[in-house]
Amino acid sequence: MSLYYTKEHEWLRIEGDSAVVGITRHAANELGELVFAEARPAGTVVKAGETAAVVESVKAASDIYAPVDGEVLDANPAVVDDASRISADPEGEGWIFRFRLSAPEQLSGLMDAAAYTAFLG
């Protein structure tokens, strides 16, 4: 299992030919109490950097971007029903959507955990 991070504070966990995506603990802390989460419909093809999901907190709404090119497979029904689950476990059970990678070579442009920690400063 490989874990990658983006400068937009998303994480990406590779599981075979697909990936699970969520927001980092840092992002969850910055957003505060999350009240809504929604991913693009299954079958939606997204390019790296395009909006693949949205989360809303009592402070703000934030787009969640596709870290690499792929196709949305599904949203996490637990966080769609209760977005506060993202805040409780953002890098685990609080994942937001799953998608099939169409350009795995793009992973080389993402950060590993050490690089993300350094990025946060």
Residue boundaries of the structural domains of the chain: 3-103
- 18 and 97 in contact (C-beta within 8 Å)? no
Q: What is the pLDDT of residues 13-59, one digit of tens each?
A: 999 889 999 999 999 999 999 999 999 999 999 999 999 999 999 98
Q: 3-class DSSP state for residue 28?
A: helix
Strands of 10-15's sheet, edge to edge? 3-5, 10-15, 18-23, 97-101, 70-75, 45-46
How many angstroms from the chain centroid is the CA of residue 40?
12
Given this model, what pLDDT does residue 17 score? 87
Q: What global pTM score does this model have?
A: 0.93
- CA distance readout (Å), 54 to 26, 43, 51, 87: 17, 17, 8, 14
Class level of CATH domain 3-103: mainly beta
